[in-house]
Amino acid sequence: MAAKLEYIWLDGYKPTQSLRSKTKIEADFSGKLEDCPNWSFDGSSTEQAPGGSSDCILKPVFICPDPQRKEGYLVMCEVLNSAGEPHESNGRALIQDDDNDFWFGFEQEYFLWDPETNKPLGFPAGGYPGPQGPYYCSVGANNAFGRDIVEEHLDVCLDAGLNVEGINAEVAAGQWEFQIFAKGAKEAGDQIWVARYLLERIGETYGVSINWHCKPLGTLDWNGSGMHANFSNTVLRTAASEETYKKILEAFRPVVKEHIEVYGADNELRLTGKHETASINDYSYGVSDRGASIRIPLYTVQKGWSGYLEDRRPNSAADPYKVAARIIKTVKSAVL
């Protein structure tokens, strides 16, 4: 039976890339990544090539079942230029983690958005709901909005074999979160992008869009959306040393600008020092401190300074590939 392979990639739009996809039919498909051929697309329609030389190449890098289509597969791809080299928009190619020593757990926040009111689900057309507080991890029709979409997304992700570790309603009305963990930075990014793709596609059937912007409600007193990056490598997992942790944490201090550049557009609207964030102009870290740039989890301290760290600065629209690549580079730069 013929298989439907949905090739998924990131376009070249700036400052925030979007997902694109198209279907390839393959007869007698094995279901294996190595049997997914490279494919091409019109890069002039995605801000990735000029019209006179428009072909870009899709290189499959991750595959999983597509639970929503008969004989379907989801194929995450890197974009190559016509010479077969990584395209400038290809953040995955920046990751230096060929041995999968780095583990990443991303906490992906987002808003379910009503296109008719241009507000999150749960916001009345003519105003605002009650102040945030009762919506976090909430239950009940007065506080939880869009649960049917969120539950369907969770089931579909699990059926696809993605390593979703949990979901919850977030601090603002209409705001939700899912968490994905993978051993290997590239796969963590692959799974986040496929999960984002599935959520977007589910939203289509409900007439609800997914708002990934880090501060869609502007300067109003509502939380923004982040994509907190929990990370470790062998050193962090086995350090047994507060001194080692502090050397790694201090390696982040001189490269704040480089991190912010890839932590998502408009992050200055979110990183204000309020709403569980550190100021974009500061760099700080602390044990169990959700107001710090990087949180040292209590788990890590209780395990004798062996565990992981959480960079709380990446925002919800950031590219997990670029976030992981920059974190890896900084951790590896630490003089231990």
Nearest to 198 by CA among 161, 229, 145: 161
Domain 103-333 is found in CATH 3.30.590.10: yes
Where residue 129 falls among pLDDT bands split at 50, 70, 90?
A: very high
pLDDT tens-digit map of 141-200: 999 999 999 999 999 999 999 999 999 999 999 999 999 999 999 999 999 999 999 999
pLDDT tens-digit map of 231-268: 999 999 999 999 999 999 999 999 999 999 999 999 99
- 51-61 mean pLDDT: 92
Count Cβ neighbours within 10 Å for each residue of 3-40 and write b for 16 or more, e otherwise.
bbbbbbbbbbeeebbeebbeebeeeebeeeeeebeebe
Give the pTM.
Answer: 0.97
284-230-143 Cα angle (round to 5): 95
What pLDDT does 206 receive?
Answer: 98
Superfamily of domain 3-90: Glutamine synthetase, N-terminal domain (3.10.20.70)
Domain boundaries, the chain: 3-90, 103-333
Please classify residue 289 by burial: count the beta carbons closer than 10 Å to its beta carbon, then call 0-12 exposed, 13-18 middle and 19+ buried.
middle
Average pLDDT, the chain: 96
Q: What percent of the chain has pLDDT over 90?
A: 91
For residues 298 and 276, which has the higher predicted lDDT (pLDDT)? Answer: 298
SS3 56: strand
Where residue 13 falls among pLDDT bands split at 50, 70, 90?
A: very high
Q: Which residue is associated with the tokens 């945030």?
A: 132
Nearest to 9 by CA among 74, 70, 100: 74
What pLDDT does 124 receive?
Answer: 92
Residues 6+ positions from 221 with CB-CB distance below 8 Å: 131, 132
Where residue 220 falls among pLDDT bands split at 50, 70, 90?
A: confident
SS3 120: strand
pLDDT tens-digit map of 76-118: 999 999 999 999 999 999 999 999 999 999 999 999 999 999 9
What pLDDT does 181 receive?
Answer: 98
